[in-house]
Chains A and B, each alone.
Chain A
Amino acid sequence: MPEFDREGLAETLRQINESMAETTAEAGRLAKAVVEGRSDDERVRVRVTDGWRTVSVRLREDTFRSYDLATLGDVVTRTVRDTQQRARTAFERAVEQLEPAEFTVTETGLRRVRPE
């Protein structure tokens, strides 16, 4: 087994950790985006953030007079899920477009420390 540059490897691993932390932080910022949705009659409004994990629902004052409970459940379910789906798709696309810095650093760093 050839000798390799241990100090160079340590530095590369440090850069990997650093770039992964940056990517994680950027993904966290992307997750803070808020996506809004409404039922067709606009009695139910939904806001989704934290990727698609955090959901808040607003009900118009006349909501309970306008629906029976089963129908209201269906309307809220559909509105929440549709909004979650849009938020999730947007978040995942944004994360995919993040510069994969850790791989770039890995390739560069390992090329440097790889024994000739």
Chain B
Amino acid sequence: MPLEAWLSMSLPVDPEAEFFTPDDFPPVDSEADREILEALERLKTATYTGRDPEHLVSVVVDGEAMVMRIRFAGTAVTRSPEVVERAISVALEAAGRQVDDAVRAVVGDSFPRQAAAPKDESYGGVEAAYDPAAHTGDGFDA
């Protein structure tokens, strides 16, 4: 889940409300909260790089996992489009995990984890699993 959506679901509790006693809710540590928010803001302006295991593709994303730059190694032209497509996805997932790890380092393990990317060994199976019969007439896979 994106960070903004996740954070927006945090329930603010006003400890000063007259119908709560101080024992019911711990006091808000405004200094600690401010530091966390500042750290999260800094993360947004940072960049994170992800690569596929063969280094066919490198992807740079910002702190909100928006793509800033995708680059291909010269060896990419020797591979099938399907392998390069998969390499792009793997590199994007790697960059996204870096974003998540950076956020988690600030807010702790309460931040939801993204689904794990395929392991390296499955990456090598992509080309073997490619079925030419699945191609459509417009040059894309079905």
| CB–CB A77/B72 < 8 A | no
Is B29 located at the chain interface by the 8 A CB criterion?
no
Which residue of chain B has its CB nearest to the CB of A85? B66
Most chain A beta carbons < 10 A, residue from B2, B24, B66, B73: B2
Residues of A within 8 A of B24 (CB): 9
Helix, strand, loop or mixed for chain A's interface?
A: helix
| CB–CB B19/A52 < 8 A | no
Residues of B within 8 A of A23 (CB): 9
| CB–CB B81/A64 < 8 A | yes
Residues of B within 8 A of A33 (CB): none
Which residue of chain B has its CB nearest to the CB of A57? B88
Question: How far is it, in angstroms, between the C-alpha of A24 and the C-alpha of B112 when the chains are bound?
Answer: 12
Is A69 located at the chain interface by the 8 A CB criterion?
yes
Question: How far is it, in angstroms, between the C-alpha of A58 and the C-alpha of B80 when the chains are bound?
Answer: 11
Question: How far is it, in angstroms, between the C-alpha of A4 and the C-alpha of B24 when the chains are bound?
Answer: 12
| CB–CB A91/B2 < 8 A | yes
A sample of 11 inter-chain contacts (CB < 8 A) reads A23-B9, A51-B1, A55-B88, A56-B89, A59-B84, A73-B70, A80-B70, A81-B68, A85-B66, A91-B5, A114-B18
